[in-house]
Structure 1
Amino acid sequence: MSIKETACAKNCGAFVLEEYVEVNMIMIRKLLNNYSKDFLLFILCSIFIGIGMGINETTFNNFLDKTYSITPFMRGLTEFPREFPGFFVVLISFSVFHFLGDIRLAIIANMIAAVGMVGIGFFAPTYGILLIWLFIMSSGIHIYLPLTSSIGMSLSDGKKDGSVLGMFQGISTAATVMGCAVVWLGFRFFNFNYRITFSISAIALACAALIFMSMTRGTYQPRKTRVLLKKRYLLFYWLNILYGARKQVFLTFAPWVLIKIFKQDVEIFAVLGIIGAVTGMFFKPVLGKLIDLLGEKFILAAEAVILVFVCIGYGYAEKLGLGKYAIYLAFTCFIIDQMLMAVSMARATYIKKIAEEPGDISPTIAMGVSIDHVVAMTIPFIGGILWDQFGYEYVFLCAAVIAVINFFSVMRMQVPSETTKKVMFAQEEGMQLGDGST
């Protein structure tokens, strides 16, 4: 990639920021007029978390490469302590801390993540110690992940859940633009280093925890159930397993391809983050409305089809004879994949529609997160071996196969209408009453 092309890519971030500011101000004015205090506070929390995670995700892979000079196999191995909390810590948090409401658990989660980020930035002189701090940071992040959808849907006040979650994700993505902009401006003009970026991320997450303390709804509402594993939700669990596998291939190895194969630096990742986030700011609210309009089955099936082409395009961009334009195909696939991560909200609305009772939703989402991380712990390890032995192309070829399996799994979804669901549950309750009287 030439110096001119690199400069052009880096300057793209400056152009999209202007439109982002104008649209975001309009969005903020509408929110202040139409929504409750807790709703607005949760939006503010999402903004701080988006900034913190945007900075972290933009810099983490370059931080690993520059600080520890690890191999693709070691990069895959790094994901074990990063993803293990998704299986273990979420189970612990929803079992041991089930008496806490979503809000209190969110406070704890963000404080843990902030401590972990400080440790990575300042107290990780060796790769082994890094893994300890990475586990701590990831524990906080993964405790919070299933809470996002449950808190958002609890604040919807009867509005369409897909649209509300889409709006929350759109705002969070807009905040990610701020985080990416901090990285781009900091490394390009202000001589930033990784300690500074991890410090800013930690402060942002700590601010989110403090804001959660000001929220009232859910603070004194303990969970009625713990983590759930029910036969009724087996397809939901399976879809989460496939999502975890596909997600982990891109989170682990897509940035590594850009770093090792295409030799891209942290500023390029900041620009890609800005472009992806600005696109997502418009895309996610629209996606939420499409979920309400077209249904979860259609959206999840479309995602699977698109992912097949994204995986092949990303893995074989260098092999298609595109020359210097191969990097732009890789950039495009990188951004599309970022956008498709938002489709996870369709799984959240799907479980709400098939849930036997509202109390099942949050712990079932938590179980889905835990189960998908069982796969997420092993995929990077296998992917690292595939990369070392055969080349990175085969890693993404396997991801394409996973997308195909996901498509046929989604075809088995049956989402009942609200009327059908009420009739079905009324019949079940009637049968239970009849059994009790005999």
Structure 2
Amino acid sequence: MRYSKTETYDRKERSQSDKERLRALLNLGLGIFGLSFATGIQGTIYTNFLVEDIGIEAHQLGVLESIREIPGLLTAFILGALLRLAEPFLAGASLILVSLGFGAYYFVRGLPDLIAFSFLWSLGLHCWMPLRSSMILELSEPSSEGKRLGQMNSVGFAAATASMSMVFLASTWLSMSFRSLFLVAASMALLGSLATFMVPGKSQRIEKPRLIIRRKYWLYYGLSLLDGCRRQIFTTFAVLAMVQAFGAPVGHIALLMLFNNIVGFMAASHIGRLVDRIGERSSLLISYGGAIPIFLGYALVPDITILYILYIIDSFLFIFNSIALVTYINYSAPLEDLIPSLAMGQTVNHLAAVTFPIVGGILWSILGYDKTFFMGAFATIILALMALGIPKGRLHKP
């Protein structure tokens, strides 16, 4: 079969464009790998570090987590002021902040140091997240956004799996200190920033408003708000319950995180394709409907083995809403609204993330840890009801 000169040129141009897209995705994937390796170390040892090294109590953890989440409230304003810069540059700079914050944990002596350094890496991480989502969406083929988000999530899970394995070996065989492990995390975040700087990018070619709050996105804002409640209650207090209430050692937590990330690595790309196929409404209902009995299990079940299993299931379900919320706003908002809307969604998400750790810590200290998880179950029920407001089936770009 022969092609005309015009057709041949178009095919070459598309081929070149596809190569550039894949090269950009590879560099972005390396950036995600570096950051995920770093946060995998941090997530595995963080609670044990706080309890065993710093001696933190539940109410102090609530205060720490709330202050740490303040940068999430500021994301829309920070990125709104900087959006004329290239997204890869902003993302790479964000990972440098993460690296500095993790590395500074080596010098922590008490709660004030912990709060300051946690705020630093949190600022970088929260600026990174909407930029990451936007870059993936921009590099995705039409109608394959969920697939690409899932693939990048798989990269993150693979990196986290490798880091969990390293933590397990380092803590059980090499007796490596928590503080030294944070230096390793800082190094990996720095490598991730270098890879991200290599993603092709220009200063913004379209005029983007600095701050967006639109009535037509109210459902996205509402879902983001309560999703912050659901996420923060579980990520803050589920591991704390296993460590403090049931005495789980760091080796067990590392193995739990390792297995959890293996499951995520195997499932994320498939879940992304499933979101593309069944749509955002069904995906969110699967996630939120499944999370309700998990919260109730943490409140009522005294068997730590069952709690380990529930933790893995919740992390599996969380992949659905982490992808579906991004694709929902992608199909709801025009291109010029996308990054500001993602940033605003993260900001309202953190209204809950800043508030509920304090409330959960107070409930834990006064009434017992089960009340904290009952609160999470209630918030997730409301989330499931709100998700019914999303149109059925596959959404399309306006």
Number of aligned residue pairs: 380
Instruction: Work out the CA distance in 2 between the residues paired with 1:270 and 1:418.
Output: 39
Q: Distance in 1 between matches of 2:204 and 2:389?
A: 38
Q: Is 1:92 the counterpart of 2:69 in the alignment?
A: no
Q: Which amino acid aligns with 1:92?
A: F
Please state if 1:236 is matched with 2:248: no
2:95·2:124 contact (CA, 8 Å) conserved in 1?
Answer: yes
Contact 2:83 2:204 in 1 (8 A): no
Structure 2 counterpart of 1:271? 255
Find out whether 1:71 has 2:39 as its counterpart: no
Partner of residue 83 from structure 1, selected from 44, 54, 69: 69
Using the alignment, how far apart are the partners of 1:213 and 1:135 within structure 2?
23
Structure 2 vs 1, CA of residues 417 and 303 (structure 1 numbering), >3 Å: closer, same or farther? closer
1:319-334 alignment runs, 5 A limit: 326-334=303-311
Deviations 1:150-195 (A, max 9, x none): 1111111335101111111011111100111110010011111012
Tell me the SS of whatever aligns to 1:36: helix
Q: CA–CA distance in 2 between the matches of 1:242 and 1:104?
A: 31
CA distance in 2 between counterparts of 1:58 and 1:310 reads 21
User: CA separation in 1, counterparts of 2:296 and 2:143?
Assistant: 39
The residue aligned with 1:389 is: 366
Per-residue deviation, 1:96: 2.0
1:218, CA displacement in angstroms? 4.5
1:344 to 322, 325, 344: 322
Aligned: 1:45 with 2:19? no
CA–CA distance in structure 1, aligned partners of residues 54 and 191 of structure 2:
30
Distance 1:291 1:130 in 2: 38
Deviates most, 338-347 or 198-207: 338-347
Q: Partner of 2:14 in structure 1?
A: none
CA distance in 2, matches of 1:331, 1:223: 48
Amino acid of the structure 2 residue aligned with 1:313: G
Matches of 1:350 and 1:189, distance apart in 2: 45
Q: Secondary structure at the match of 1:157?
A: coil
TM-score, normalised to structure 2's length?
0.91
Mapping for residues 188-203 of structure 1, pairs under 5 Å: 188-203=172-187
CA distance in 1, matches of 2:232, 2:335: 30
Q: Quick check: 1:101–1:222 contact (8 Å CA) kept in 2?
A: no
Structure 1 counterpart of 2:112: 128
**Aligned counterpart, 1:353:** 331
1:46 Cα deviation from its structure 2 partner: 1.2
Counterpart of 2:276 (choices 252, 269, 292) is: 292
AA aligned to 2:139 is: L
- Equivalent pair of 1:354/1:416 in contact (CA under 8 Å): no
Identity of aligned residues (%): 26
Contact 2:276/2:394, CA 8 A, preserved across alignment: no
Distance in 2 between residues matched to 1:53 and 1:195, nearest whole Å: 14
- RMSD of aligned residue pairs (Cα, Å): 1.8
Which whole-Å CA distance do the structure 2 matches of 1:34 and 1:93 have between them?
A: 29
Instruction: Name the counterpart of 1:8.
Output: none
1:62 to 48, 51, 72: 48
Match of 1:407 in 2: 384
Give 3-state SS (helix, strand or coil) of 1:66's partner.
helix
Residues 1:109 and 2:94 are matched in the alignment: yes
Unaligned runs of 5+ in 1: 1-31, 319-325, 423-438
